[in-house]
Amino acid sequence: MNTDGDGKSSSRQSLPWRVIRFFDPAEAGFLWRMARLGAVVLVVSCCALSALGAMASQTRAGRYGIIVALDVAGDYDRALAWTDDLLADYPTESWDYYRTKAYILRYMGRSEESLAVYDQAIEVFPDEWWAYSHKCYYTALLTGDPIEVMDACDRSIELGPTWPSVAYDRRAIARALIGDLTGAEEDMARGLELASADDPSMARDAVLETRPVWLAELRAGRNPIGEEEIEFELARH
């Protein structure tokens, strides 16, 4: 049998054996080996993440994913810059890009600019009910004077919304804010009627928790939408 200078079998110096010795805590220098390994793993991971980030930034879906990540992280300045770049390259690709930009601007305290984004979206997507619904809803909540956007509320319903309960609920809020309590009552009742088979997120929180109470107030001739309710609505989205 062949042995090395230490009297150990050459077969025991094979790659598998060296790997075993490398991770053996009993072998001298174990902590130093682990520190070097960790440094290598860190460098490789950073390089891999950089490569993935570079690849993602070259695709439309990847760029939108970066925007969402920045938004969630609260890095609104960078999120807005990325969104502007994405819209410059793909202005007619998706209504969601406009929606995201409007949300980011609102989170930054730039409400008037956020509302203007919905007008831009309507110009690009004249048949997108969500764009009209957002204009109706957020203008009503943010300006307190939704008279100018009642056409948008009506249009969102005329277009055959994917989630009718949302469209009716939003128009109900707009109507309540302009003092049309009868119209608000009718729309809120209709929204509740449709909610069970409609938007699951709406059925889960606002409709089941607040809307029945608001509807009861409307039926009693009282307006349930005050400053606290407006803040509640803005915090939901």
Distance from C-alpha of 60 to C-alpha of 149, rounded to nearest angstrom? 32
Give yes or no for residue 111 having a pLDDT over 70: yes
User: pLDDT, tens digit, for every residue of 123-143?
Assistant: 999 999 999 999 999 999 999
Give yes or no for residue 173 having a pLDDT over 90: yes
Predicted TM-score (pTM) of the model is 0.73
Measured between alpha carbons, how far is residue 181 from residues 36, 59, 116, 212 in Å? 71, 48, 27, 15
Lowest mean pLDDT among 15-29, 112-126, 156-170, 182-196: 15-29
pLDDT over 90, % of the chain: 59
Distance from C-alpha of 104 to C-alpha of 87, rounded to nearest angstrom? 14
Tokens of 204: 């889960």
Please state, rounded to an integer, the average pLDDT across all residues of the chain.
84
